[in-house]
């Protein structure tokens, strides 16, 4: 079965939740017998990821405009045309913005499956026009795609209530087995000690609310404890956040992967996710796989994970966030046991292949 993937910036080693999702999923589908091609956006191809194949997944780079408003839609239109030329059995489009290209795919006779990773128009970074375009992408994707995959029950109910589409497939995000790593040289470089830091790992965009973490951190008497923020972005928000973080003595690692990230997760005291918008947060699942205590906002996507109530705080409540951070810092170092059976990537790959088979039969 020939599968062409669009909507993602690309793989491997490209920052983003959708990108992480694709990097784990599609090599497993190759192992299950699929011929997979991921269409990447050229601006995100760097010296670090110039390969033409990744774990059996073919990589094709296409033009994408340097415009937040146009990048995803224009690139995916080009990807649809390439999928048609490659005689794809399935075109799998990720995220709602790129779903603007679904009608074109159907017009060209290309079978389309989409994965709705959440209502991106709720993200604070988008202006009124961009939000309208994203809503249109959601509508066209749900209405015209042959098959619809959602990553949470919240999204499944949303599209059923808004568009009457009740045949979507619920397939959760996944998380790989944790890699327990000791990387003392890296910790010396950062100036941190195992078990003596709180960790957040995310893109530095407004809806992740890292500014709330900074506000809470400034109100704490932390002693020799540290706050580590792993992530980056090229926005003005990120620039200002990093400037304020440095003033507060926060450790900024930039975008990290592999041994650097695994070592931070292995030895963190707790993980923080104060987001106002998530689909189903892979970063949270990853922290859970490392058995870290977690402090997360009470948005629907996080509530669906089913954590103990003590893990949640009301979105935007700086005082409660501060108090929960203080509790973790003052308590003995601990590890937690979570039920991770729903988030196994091998199971997720088999579920996705079942959707493809159903689509090809149609």
pLDDT digits (tens, 9 = 90+) for 226-262: 999 999 998 999 999 999 999 999 999 999 989 999 9
Same fold flag, 2-174+344-361 and 184-341: yes
Give the model's confidence band at 221: pLDDT under 50 very low, under 70 low, under 90 confident, else very high.
confident
Mind listing the pLDDT tens digit for each residue in 168-198? 999 999 998 899 999 999 999 999 999 999 9
Residue 61 pLDDT level (bands cut at 50, 70, 90): very high
Structure confidence at residue 16 (pLDDT): 85
User: At 294, which helix (H) or strand (E)?
Assistant: strand 294-297
Spell out the residues 6+ positions from residue 162 whose beta carbon is closer than 8 angstroms to its own. Answer: 142
Average of pLDDT values for 341-350? 93
Return the pLDDT at 150.
97
Note the pLDDT of residue 66: 85
The partner residues of 215 in beta bridges, in order of sequence, read none
Q: What angle do CA 180, 241, 71 make, to 5 degrees?
A: 85
Return the structure tokens found at 121: 């128009």
Predicted local distance difference test score (pLDDT) of residue 362? 74
Residues linked to residue 294 through DSSP beta bridges, in sequence order = 271
Residues 6 or more apart from 245 whose CB is under 8 A from it?
Answer: 210, 214, 229, 252
pLDDT at 123: 73
Cis peptide before 12 (omega within 30 of 0): yes
H helices of 56-193, in order, are 71-85, 102-107, 128-144, 153-163, 184-190
Q: Which of 224, 198, 232 is nearest to 213 (CA)?
A: 198
Q: Taking residues 352-356, what's their average pLDDT? A: 98
**Token pair of 141, please?**
């994707």
pLDDT of residue 126: 74
Average pLDDT of span 294-300: 96
pLDDT at 220: 93
Residue 50 CB partners (closer than 8 Å, separation 6+): none
Going from N- to C-terminal start, the domains of the chain cover 2-174+344-361, 184-341
Task: Average the pLDDT over each of 66-80, 146-160, 263-277, 325-339 and give the range with the smallest value.
Answer: 66-80
- Residue 254 φ then ψ, to 5°: 75, -170
Q: What is the mean pLDDT of the chain?
A: 94
Let me know: does 154 contact 260? Beta carbons within 8 Å.
no
Within a 13 Å sphere around the CA of 320, how many CA atoms are in the beta-carbon half?
13
CA-CA distance, 44 to 359, in Å (whole number)? 31
Position 77 pLDDT exceeds 80: yes
pLDDT tens digit string along 9-18? 999 989 888 9
Query: Which of 111-120, 129-138, 295-304, 324-333 has the lowest average pLDDT?
Result: 129-138
CA distance 209 to 217: 13
If you average pLDDT over each of 255-259, 283-287, 351-355, which comes out highest?
351-355
Residue with tokens 């690309």: 10
3-class DSSP state of 109: coil
Q: At a CB cut-off of 8 Å and minimum separation 6, what does 361 contact? A: none
Q: What is the pLDDT of residues 89-144, one digit of tens each?
A: 999 999 999 999 999 999 999 999 999 998 877 776 777 888 888 899 999 999 99
Kindly state the tokens that stand for 255: 């975008």
Tell me the sheet residues that pair with 38.
5, 59
Fold of 184-341: Rossmann fold (3.40.50)
> What six digits make up the tokens of 3?
């599968």
Rounded Cα gap, residues 53 and 60, in angstroms: 9
Residue at token pair 């922290």: 287
CATH level 2 (architecture), domain 2-174+344-361: 3-Layer(aba) Sandwich (3.40)
Q: Enumerate residues 6+ apart whose C-beta is below 8 A from 254.
A: 230, 231, 232
Give the residue among 247, 257, 337 at the shortest CA–CA distance from 292: 337
**What average pLDDT does the segment 42-47 reach?**
91
In the prediction, which pLDDT does 1 show? Answer: 96
């Amino acid at each position: 079965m020939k599968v062409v993937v669009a909507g993602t910036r690309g793989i491997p080693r490209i920052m983003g939740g959708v990108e992480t999702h694709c990097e784990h999923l599609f090599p497993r589908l190759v192992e299950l017998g699929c011929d997979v091609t991921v269409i990447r956006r050229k601006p995100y191809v760097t010296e670090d990821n110039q390969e033409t194949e990744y774990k059996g997944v073919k990589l094709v780079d296409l033009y994408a405009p340097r415009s937040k408003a146009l990048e995803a839609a224009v690139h995916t239109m080009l990807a649809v045309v390439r999928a048609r030329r490659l005689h794809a059995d399935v075109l799998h489009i990720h995220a709602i913005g790129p779903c603007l290209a679904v009608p074109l795919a159907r017009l060209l006779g290309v079978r389309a499956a989409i994965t709705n990773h959440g209502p991106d128009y709720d993200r604070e970074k988008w202006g009124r026009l961009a939000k309208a375009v994203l809503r249109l992408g959601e509508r066209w994707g749900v209405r015209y795609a042959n098959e619809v995959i959602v990553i949470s029950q919240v999204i499944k109910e949303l599209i059923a209530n808004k568009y009457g589409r009740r045949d979507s497939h619920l397939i959760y995000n996944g998380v790989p087995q944790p890699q327990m790593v000791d990387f003392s040289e890296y910790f010396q470089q950062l100036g941190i000690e195992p078990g003596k830091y709180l960790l957040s790992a995310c893109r530095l965009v407004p809806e992740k609310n890292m500014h709330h973490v900074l506000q809470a951190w400034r109100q704490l008497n932390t002693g020799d404890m540290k706050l580590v923020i792993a992530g980056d972005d090229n926005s003005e928000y990120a620039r200002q956040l990093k400037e304020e973080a440095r003033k507060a003595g926060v450790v900024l690692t930039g975008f990290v992967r592999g041994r650097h990230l695994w070592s931070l997760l292995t030895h963190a005291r707790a993980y923080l996710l104060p987001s106002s918008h998530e689909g189903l947060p892979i970063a949270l699942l990853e922290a859970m796989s490392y058995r870290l205590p977690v402090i997360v906002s009470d948005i629907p996507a996080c509530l669906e994970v089913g954590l103990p109530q003590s893990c949640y705080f009301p979105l935007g409540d700086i005082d409660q966030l501060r108090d929960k951070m203080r509790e973790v810092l003052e308590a003995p170092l601990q590890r937690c046991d979570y039920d991770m059976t729903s988030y196994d990537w091998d199971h997720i790959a088999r579920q996705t292949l079942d959707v493809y088979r159903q689509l090809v039969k149609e």
